[in-house]
Amino acid sequence: MTTEEVAAACHLPVEQAVLAKQREYDEPFEVIDLEREGELESAIAAQGMKSVRGGRFRHVSGPHDKGCAVKLLASLFRRRADEHVTTVGLGDSLNDIPLLGAVDVPVVVRSADATEILHHVPNAFVAEHKGPEGWSEAVLEILRNQGESA
């Protein structure tokens, strides 16, 4: 996709679309011919890669995912911290399942994928609302709970 196409599809200013295209660990794509989607998935798997649906696009990547990244980041924080480090993850798409499975406090923000996400992460807190309102609601609730336990 051109920068302009990314800007339009993601409702971003062109400057932010330029940054969004600078990816290192996965490549977002759209399936145009849905009748050949299975063939595409097989070809991706044959290359030792995987594909997962995100909020707007599908993503192809190697053996890594958001869960691998958060585990590494958490281990770095835990090495440097004098206190316990609690990890929190918020997600609303299928590509967030590894992230939610790797954190101490998983939060599912309401979406079309919420039921399927909860099947994989049954201990997750579920936000009442969708989108930014759900994210805000969940973060404020977590901060309130942290304040009460401190």
Q: Using alpha carbons, list the distances in angstroms from residue 4 to 1, 13, 72, 122.
A: 8, 9, 34, 39
Query: How much is the pTM?
Result: 0.76
Residue whose entry in the numeric block shows the structure tokens 């399942």: 97
Residue 107 CA to residue 100 CA, distance in Å, equals 7
Does residue 35 sit in helix, strand or coil? Answer: helix
Question: Following CA atoms 60, 63, 68, 69 in sequence, which dihedral angle do they give, to the nearest 10 degrees?
Answer: -50
- Per-residue pLDDT of 87-143, as tens digits, reads 999 999 998 999 999 999 999 999 999 999 999 999 999 999 999 999 999 999 999
Beta-carbon contacts of residue 68 (< 8 Å; ≥ 6 apart) = 98, 102
- Per-residue pLDDT of 13-36, as tens digits, reads 999 999 988 887 788 888 888 899
User: In the chain, what are the domains?
Assistant: 3-61 (3.30.980.20), 66-149 (no CATH)
